[in-house]
Amino acid sequence: MEVKRILGAMFLNLFMALLEVLGGVFSGSLALISDALHNINDFFALLISYLAEIISKNKKSNLNHTFGFRRVEILAALLNGVLLLGVFLFLIIEAFGRIKSPKEVEGIQTVIIGVIGLVGNILGASLLHEDSHHNLNIKGAFLHLLSDAISSVGVIIGALFIIFYRLYVADTIMSLLIAGFILYSSVDLIKETIHILMEGTPKGLNINEIQKIICQISGVKDIHHIHVWQISTKDYLFSAHVVVEDQKISEAQKIISQVKQALKDKFNIHHSTIEIESEDLLKEKECQCEY
């Protein structure tokens, strides 16, 4: 279902982009052309997202890629963030060029096409909104469309100032505001993807809370060498050394099962690797189970 929604949003976005390119050329609006270029960029961003979803879902794991290709989702999200930065730089250069050499803009044409673009972008964003909460790749595509919708609002406001006040600089100002929003969206997305690629602890997970829960399991004396990371938006991985009481060594497998179930139930971690150590080894280590 996610793939079909991306495909629908992709073609809707391409139609909006072509319409705005024509409208921007005939009206002379930089804001409209900027929004059109943003839409064209978004088409490629959606295409990247579409291909990433196909690859991550259909390419199986093998000896060279034991986790499969689920991380393609994160790489696609990073690429989308970089593309947004490229659009930001282009808009800044064009906007300052317009400040030096202002051009007359057809306000009515710009408003009409801006409204059509706004409706199209809202429809496209609505297709991806639900899936954007649990898929970073789709979140990147959704942010592209959301920024497009906000851009269209800016285009309309700038055109209204031109119609009523003949204030042509409003078109350029709106282009700069659009660029600012694009910068904010791209930086946030890039930071999140880099955090995942650097094997950072997934957002919302607290190592101290994990220690507390595991140490409450009967027979567990300590937990250390904890590592939590993720290979995609939804796939969390966990590894740790768990020290058990000497008299519980024979029940090690049962304790491991309890630890894994706690990780699954409390923290949504479905893939974990647990190494059991005897209580004797704990004497040389600082105990972390103080709950």
Q: Mind listing the pLDDT tens digit for each residue in 191-230?
A: 988 999 999 999 889 999 999 999 999 888 889 899 999 9
pLDDT for position 252: 82
Mean pLDDT of the chain: 80
> Higher-confidence residue: 183 or 59?
183
Own/partner pairs, 153-157, CB within 8 angstroms, 24+ separation: 153/118, 154/31, 154/35, 154/178, 155/29, 155/31, 155/32, 155/35, 155/110, 155/113, 155/114, 155/117, 156/110, 156/111, 156/114, 156/115, 156/118
Binning pLDDT at 50, 70 and 90, where does residue 291 land? very low
Binning pLDDT at 50, 70 and 90, where does residue 241 land? very high
pLDDT for position 90: 80
DSSP state of 200: P
d(CA 159, CA 239): 57
Q: Mind listing the pLDDT tens digit for each residue in 22-40?
A: 877 777 777 677 777 767 7
- Domain 2-197 in CATH 1.10.10.60? The answer is no
Q: Which two tokens stand for residue 47?
A: 């295409």
Q: Which of 240, 258, 250 is nearest to 278 (CA)?
A: 250
The residue-averaged pLDDT of 41-57 equals 73
Just give the CATH number of 207-284.
3.30.70.1350
Per-domain boundaries in the chain = 2-197, 207-284
CA 44: distance to chain centroid? 16
Cα separations in angstroms, 270 against 56, 178, 236, 261, 273:
18, 41, 7, 9, 10
- Give kind and range of the element (H or E) at residue 244: strand 236-244
| Confidence check: pLDDT of 286 > 70 | no
H helix intervals, 59-168:
72-100, 107-129, 136-165
